[in-house]
Structures are given as structure tokens and as C-alpha cells.
Amino acid sequence: MKKLFISIVSVITLIATTATAQITGVELARKSQSGDLLTQNNEKVLRNVEMESEIVVCGGGLAGICAAVSAARHGSKVILIQDRPMLGGNASSEMRMGIVGVRESKYQETGILEEMQCRNFMYNPLQRYPLWDDIFYSTVVEEPNIRLLLNTSVRDVVMNGKEIAAVKCWNSNNYTNYTISGKLFIDCTGDGVLRLSGAEYRRGTEAKSTYNESYLSNEKANNLTMGNSILIQMRKTDKHHPYKAPDWAYHYTDADFNYDTPQPTTPGHQFLYKIIHRVHDNNFWWVECSSVKFDTVFDANEAQFELKKIAYGIWEYIKNHPDGRGHNYELVWIGAIPAKRESTRYVAPHTLTQEDILSGGHFEDVVAYGGWDLDDHDPNGFENRGPASYIYKVKQGYGIPFDCLYSVNVPNLMFAGRDISTSHMAFSATRVMATCALIGQAAGTAADLVIEKNTTPAGVRKDHIKELQARLEDDDCMLPYRWRQIYPLTAAAKTLAENEPMRNGIDREWDGNDNGVYTAVGATNLTYTWDKPITASEVRFIFDSDLKIRGKRMRKLEETTERAPMPSEMAREFHIQVRVPATNKKQAKAHANPSAGEWKTVATVKDNFRRLVKLQFDAVETDGVRIVVDKTWGAEKAHIFAFDVK
């Protein structure tokens, strides 16, 4: 089984990086800088390049990042294609949508998403969006198994029978046409560009009767979707300066917002309206174009201009309002391009529906989960003089099955993020970025199994779904209605009674139970021993990254001084020791005393920001393994949820 580990030979210091095999394949030819003068006679204006990989991921939002990184860490060669100059999609500095998902901290999404958010706290404590882009970038480029192509758009596909053989791409930054072949393709574009393959898909809203979805009001299917949004950001100021919007912007008065704002009487239902009365904690998500007037895909440019006219006009209205609501704020940023909310949904063996979510999503092939409510935006967007969004409460941690992540008619096509197989109503809950990140990690892990087992996504579903679920749980992705199985060596070890929570498979606080163990700096209480020597080569830890910090979201306001602290009970520096068995009778006699024996350090980690840490070292015969925490991120003791030996 291919895996990612941090390799350790003897005693070394591990920097926050990962180690995998170097990528192979076609490398771009680079012309010597000392050659002849280039003219129309000896140089082509456009370049054609062919590349190949095992897995090709299209789309570099959170779903695409997590898909690419998870596949690469398990050993597959990956090419990640992103059509923008930065990664992150709706979360990037271009759009600045907040990362949301579950609403309860005990269900907080972990895995690669939590790793990136903790990395952001460490390297970007002031939470500046341009640096946030580079948190995504670092996560990707540190993986040697990934080849990243930014500014690269998919424009066509090459088919081999029913399968995708290659994608044709255009990079406007380096004037290069790429033909990128692969064994498996994952569409994380949101818009579902790989439907160029002929993959079945849908855009719009089904009729209420199609899946018997009670929260829909339309009796007939239509092509309407939720609209795109553009965000604006503010900064506090001490003095009020009136603001004038550009002449081409809309100009609003109180009359534009003079309408009733009732709430539904049904428990669990809620209407959300435009938040024009405050600036603090306002991300202007309701500056949303109408899908009645604009197709979210083909009218993207027109919608962008429409949204800018709305956004500048809204700020003029709020800033200059006589009640002073915006007087102490200044406009510092407006979105470069709109953030897309809904466009295309592929058709997979299962279509997730409203009822699936409301009933909790109990699926045999569960690989991810959500917790965002059914949150259906009015297709008229900002123009609707009424609710901007209709909210229907759901059970936290509803399951999402693997059968929603691969095409029914293109055997080597998977998808993750906004374009998975759901109804419009179910999509209103699964579309948010934290959920998309979990789906992306599930798809990438499954894609690696496709390559390793020489099968298809359908083959993984049929023959390897339990292995996929086990790998996800081992990679710190909680799956609903089940808990992780611990390693056999961990189960067979002896330890202090108070250490038992570290091997119950529940890697977080849950229903009032801590499920973790505290250890003081320098203490040796976190020790496993065995009656007979065992061979160990790997340890796995889940540290406390404080899941109560809800989502570790970027800030809505452009503040300048408050620094985001690292989770204080996370181990910052630690080392791993093994006890070498006795080699003669004298040593054996002494070794009968658990406090005796020679402890040797096999790994040292500094500046750790990861909740999940897996370390691999040279196989060693030992009858004891322990972790010693040398420093935390501020607390007196470190808090650890899991300690496994393999």
C-alpha cells in the first residue's frame, strides 16, 4: 500500500514538510538563454507541450487542493490544473468567501483542511488574504508528487472510447497549449468543465416531484440556480469621509429596502434578508446576481459588472447613511471576480437528496459529511424584495456517500466539490467549502486506490470501499456513525489507565467526553510497552488543534493588529523514543523493571502546526515507545487525542 510518511533516519529534525517520490513524466523544455536572437524566423509565438500523469485534477479550489494533496501523499503522480493565478477558489484573495461547514464544534472538519487552517495561523497570524493564497500554494508545492499548472484553463477533452484520454488546456500566462493525459480525471472546477466528455449532468432546479422534496416550491423543472456573489471588505477609521460611488454604479435610497421581513412559523425554518444596517461581521454575501437575468456560467462577465454596480452602490448607501451605520468604516477591497455558488451537477450512481440529508445520510459507502443547513438562495438574487435565502435546519454530520463522486457513463471521471451528484435542494447544503474540502480529500484518496488497485471508481466502490474508509479515518477524516479502528500494536500495548482515551478511536471531544490525555512538558507518561519485543517503524498522533475555534475563518474586516494565536495545547516540539531490548542476562534482569532499559530517540519534530502527524522511522525491535513533548504553543500541558504505533 502506497503511503505518505515523513522518513526519519536515526535522529533528525523534521521541518513542516512531506516526503514522497520525485515526480516523473514530461518536463517542459527550456531554451538556453545564451542562444541566437529570437525572431519570427526561428521562434513560435505559441508553444505546444504534452504532459502525462496518473491522476489529473482540474480545479484548484479547496476540493481540488485536497483531492490533489491526498492522492499525492498516498503515492500517486498528480497534475493539478487551476485557471486562476492563485489557488483557493472562492476562499482565495480574489473572492474572499468564508470557509463554512458544520455548525457544531464536535463535528468540525479536520483532515487537510484543518492542516491548512493551522498552517495559516502559524505563517499568517494577521490573516492577510494574499498570504492566505500562499498557504494553499505551500500545501500543494511541498508535495513532490504534484505538478501544479496555474493560469491554465481546460478547453477540450480527448476521448478514448468512453474514457477521457487527455485534457487540452490553454495557459494565457506562458502562451502554451497543453495536452495532458492521465489514467483518472477528477473535476473540481465547480462548473463541471469535463462534461465536455459527454458525462451526464444537470443544471438548474428539479421539479418538486422529482425527488419528492417538500422544501421546493416549483412544480416544473427549470434552469434557475443560485447566483454569483461579489464581496467587499472594510477597515475601521476614526473619521467619517463621505463616499461617492462611480457614476456607472447603482445608487440606492431607503425606498429600495422598504419591504416587510417576516420569518416563517415552521420550527427549524428561517429567512435571511439583506444586512444593510451594519458593517461589522458583514461579508455582503447577499450582493448576488440574479440567475433569472444572468446564466452563472456563460454570462459570467456580464454578472461581474452587474455585481460591481450593486456593490459600489450598496457601500455608498451604507457609508453615507444619516444614522451613522457606516461612518466609522472605509472601503478597502472589492472582489476581483464573482464567487460562483451554483452551476453544474454531475450524475453519479446516487443523487443526494433533501431527504437523504434530513434523515442524516446513513450510507454504507459514506466518505464525507456535512453540517451546513439547506440554504437555498432566491434565484432573483439582490433584486428580490424579500428573503435572500431560505434556511431549513438539518442534523449535523449527515453522511455523503462515495456513490455521489463518480460518473455513471464516463468510467475514469470523478468529481468533488460543488459539482458532485446532488439535487438542487441537497446542493444548497453540500456546496459550502469546508464540506467540499472533505469531499475532495475523499475523492483524492479514492483516486489513489484506483491507481494502486488498477481499477475504476466503480471498482473501488465494489471491492475496496472499506479500505477507502479506513484510509480516510487514518488521515484524520471523521466519518459519521463509526469510529476509527486503532492499530493492532497499539491495542496490544500496556499503558497507564489514564492513557486509554488515546486508543479509543475517537480523535476529538464527543458528547461530553474529552477523549484525550494531557502531558506536561518533559514528562514521560505517554508510554506504551509490550511484554515481548515488537518491530515498530511508524507512529501516529492526533494533537489538539482546538476545534472550538469555529472554522478558523479569515476575518471579514481588514484589521491590522490582532494576531491569531496557535492552538495553545498543541505540541509544538516533541521527540519519539524507543526502548532497546536487553541483549544479555544482566540487562534482561534489569529490563524486568519497567523503569530500566535504554531509551533512544528516533525522531524529533520542531515547529509543528499539524493536528495529524505521521512519522516513519527505520524498523526497530523494541518493547517500549513513548512521546516526550518539549514545548507547546503556550499551554502548560499538551493535549493529545491519539497515539498509535505500527
Q: Cα dist. 559→116, 120, 521, 531 in Å?
A: 21, 16, 34, 57
| Number of residues in the chain | 646
Joined grid coordinates for residue 82 = 487551476
Joined grid coordinates for residue 493 = 500495548
For the chain, how big is the Rg over CA atoms in Å? Answer: 26
pLDDT tens digits for range 615-646: 999 999 999 999 999 999 999 999 999 999 99
Task: Sort 56 into a burial class: Cβ within 10 Å, 0-12 / 13-18 / 19+.
Answer: buried
pLDDT at 379 over 50: yes
Class of domain 488-645 as given by CATH: mainly beta
Average pLDDT for residues 272-281, to the nearest whole number? 91
- Phi-psi domain of 583 (left: phi exceeds 0; alpha: psi -120 through 50; beta: other): alpha
Confidence class of residue 6 from pLDDT cuts 50, 70 and 90?
A: very low
Average pLDDT, whole number, for the chain? 92
pLDDT at 55 over 90: yes
Least confident of 21-25, 95-99, 347-351, 530-534: 21-25
Mapped onto helix, strand or coil, the DSSP state of residue 629 is: strand
pLDDT tens digits for range 101-153: 999 999 999 999 999 999 999 999 999 999 999 999 999 999 999 999 999 99
Contact 410, 398 (CB under 8 A): no
pLDDT at 86 over 50: yes
- Residues 106 and 104: their CA atoms lie apart, in Å, by 6
pLDDT at 589 over 60: no
pLDDT tens digits for range 287-306: 999 999 999 999 999 999 99
Average pLDDT for residues 81-89, to the nearest whole number? 97
Q: What's the pLDDT at 7?
A: 36
Least confident of 62-71, 146-155, 328-337: 328-337
Average pLDDT for residues 204-233, to the nearest whole number? 95
pLDDT at 585 over 80: no
pLDDT at 283 over 60: yes
Q: What's the pLDDT at 24?
A: 35
pLDDT at 584 over 60: no
- Residues 93 and 95: their CA atoms lie apart, in Å, by 6
pLDDT tens digits for range 529-578: 999 999 999 999 999 999 988 668 888 887 767 888 999 999 999 999 99
Class of domain 17-26+43-202+396-471 as given by CATH: alpha beta
Average pLDDT for residues 191-199, to the nearest whole number? 98
Domain ranges, ordered by start, for the chain? 17-26+43-202+396-471, 232-334, 488-645
pLDDT tens digits for range 305-320: 999 999 999 999 999 9
Average pLDDT for residues 59-77, to the nearest whole number? 98
